[in-house]
Amino acid sequence: MSTRQAGAQSRIAQAFEGHKALIAYLTVGYPKLETCLELVPRLEEWGVDMVELGIPFSDPLADGSTIQEASFHALQNGITPQKCLETTGKLRRKVSIPLLFMGYYNPILNYGLEAFCHTSEMAGVDGFVVPDLTPDEGAELEAATQRHRLDLIYLLAPNSSDSRIKLVADHSRGFIYLVSLTGVTGARQQLAAGLEDFVVRVRAKTDLPLAIGFGISGPEQAKRAAAVADGVIVGSRLIQLIKEDSSYGKVKEFITRLRQAIG
**113 Cβ contact list (under 8 Å, min separation 6):** 140, 141, 144
Rounded distance between C-alpha atoms, residue 72 and residue 79, angstroms: 10
Per annotation, catalytic residue among 38, 44, 45, 52: 52
Backbone dihedral angles phi then psi of residue 174, each to the nearest 5 degrees: 95, -70
Per annotation, catalytic residue among 63, 126, 151, 230: 63
Phi/psi-derived region of residue 214, left when phi > 0, alpha when psi is between -120 and 50, beta in every other case: left
Backbone dihedral angles phi then psi of residue 210, each to the nearest 5 degrees: -115, 130
- Catalytic residue at 63? yes
Per-residue buried b or exposed e for 182-205, using 16+ beta carbons within 10 Å of the residue's own CB: eebbbbbeebbeebeebbebbbeb
- Catalytic residue at 86? no
Active site residues: 52, 63
